[in-house]
Each structure stands twice: as structure tokens, then as C-alpha cells.
Amino acid sequence: MRKPLIAGNWKMNMGGSDSKELSRSIRNALDDYTDIDILLCPPYTAITHVYEIIKNTSIILGAQNCFYESKGAFTGEISPLFLLDIGCKYVILGHSERRYYFGETADLIGKKMICSLDSGLNIILCVGEKLEERENGEAFEIVKSQLEGSFRNLPEDYLKKITVAYEPVWAIGTGKTCEPNMAEEMHHFIRSWFKVKFGDIISNNLRILYGGSIKPENISSLIVKEDIDGGLIGGASLNVDSFIQIIKNTIKAVH
């Protein structure tokens, strides 16, 4: 059985003292949950604030992006090693906001994956189609090409450190959640791709998160699906009550 993972992607929010308040409230409410993994991904400038607050708890810390080299003359970039050094265990890579606002290609994301894994981080690799691609019947092809374009020859130990997040672009921040059966169909497709490429053990152990307008009201119907192992939450993770309720509803639904 795969342990559910609920991750908050704070995006470009909560950069300073807000991050302390939010993480403190989450810590106070959730410190003792062990049958679910909880991950917070603040913006870079808030990572150390959040680390100080959650360091003695089971809450995990992550970042939202990093560079594909571990050091050197790359002005403005952040090395995966730096993230590890300040307490991060995870990094989100390939988020659609990075693919489409910053032109990140599958190849570039693949390089970031290798460097992050070499550094010892776990990865959440985001994939997902745009609305017109879904409407044109291209969703599965797009997700397949995102997976194929980013996966190099990774050792098995590295594969264990990868989580995939299916985030249909049309559902992100729009209030339009992907209908649970539709999400499950894509999650099953992703797991089958892993099975063909890497075998039964890796694919059975792979956590696949859903992301896109998750709220306390819709998490239960998503998390009960066979291939949905958690959520990557944007807007609703910025509000302590809704984030905690999402976690509580997840625990209730999977037990």
C-alpha cells in the first residue's frame, strides 16, 4: 500500500513572515499525523523560516524548482545541493507554470532531475496537458511525451525517489477539478507507462499525485481512486483551515 502524500505548493506566496505563521499553524494542527506524508514547498526565501518551525516534526520540506548544475557561474540560480543544505528533502520539477511561463522543455527538466537526484533530493515531476490538448484528444500523447522526454537512464535507487504529479493545466487555479474518473484514467496510464519501462515493483510503488483545484470538498472522491496517491495543492494550501481539512479528509477516505 502506498502512503498518501499531501503537498502544499505555495508558489510565489508566503515569502516572509506569512510563511512562519502558516507553517506554525499547520505544525500545531498536524504534528502527530504519521500515516500520511505532509510536504510544504514554500518559496526559496521562506524555506529556512519554515525549516525552523517544522524541523522536529514529521512534516517534510521541499522547494519549487532548482537548477541543473550543483555549482558555478549561473547568476541567480539555486543548486539542488543548497536546497538539501537548508533542510529540503524534495523539489518540484516541471510544473506547468515553469514549462509555459519560463519555456522549460522536457529535456531541461530531465537535466534538473538528474542533478537533483545526484544531490540526494526526492523529486515531484509534474506532467499535464493544456485545455486545447485535452479537447483535441491529445492528453495521453502529451503526458507520454513529457515523461519520455525527461527520463534518462536512471538507476533503480533513483527511481524510488520520484513522485509524479498529474496536473491538467486547465484545472490549475481555475476551480475546475478534473472529474475523478478522468483523473484516474490518466493516473492509470502513467502507472502503466512506468510498468512497461521500469517493471512491476517500481510502478507499484510509484506515488502519483493529482493537482488542480483540490479543495476539502473534492479530495475524498479523488483519493479513493486506485492510482491516486495524494495531492499537490496550490491555492487551498495557503489557507490553514482548508489545508488541514484536506489532510483530514484524505486520512478518513483511505481508512
The minimum distance between CB 9 and ligand 13P, in angstroms, equals 4
- Burial (CB < 10 A; 0-12, 13-18, 19+), residue 85, is exposed
Judged by CB under 6 A, the stretch of 112-120, 155-163, 184-192, 234-242 that binds ligand 13P is 234-242
Separation between Cα atoms, residue 102 and residue 86, nearest integer Å: 25
* 42 near ligand 13P, rule: CB under 6 A: no
Q: Least distance in Å: CB of 236 to ligand 13P?
A: 6
246 near ligand 13P, judged by CB under 6 A: no
- Residue 167 lies near ligand 13P (rule: CB under 6 A): yes
Q: Would you say the C-alpha torsion 238, 50, 84, 39 has a positive or negative sign?
A: negative
Euclidean distance between CA atoms 91 and 132, whole angstroms: 28
Strands 90-93 and 230-233: unpaired
Residue of 95, 104, 184, 187 marked active site: 95
Task: Indicate if 184 belongs to the active site.
Answer: no
* Residues in 172-231 that interact with ligand 13P by CB under 6 A: 172-173, 211-214
The smaller minimum CB distance to ligand 13P, of residues 30 and 236, is found at: 236
**Residue showing cell 493529482:** 210
Q: Does 234 bind ligand 13P (CB under 6 A)?
A: yes
Radius of gyration of the chain (CA): 17
Which of 97, 104, 129, 167 is flagged as catalytic? 167
Beta partners for 230? 5
Read off the C-alpha cell for 31. Answer: 504534528
**Pick from 4, 6, 9, 129: which binds ligand 13P (CB under 6 A)?**
9
Residue 71 and residue 67: Cα distance in Å, rounded? 9
Judge whether 69 counts as a catalytic residue: no
Q: Which residues bind ligand 13P (CB under 6 A)?
A: 9, 95, 167, 172-173, 211-214, 232-236
Q: Catalytic amino acids? A: 95, 167
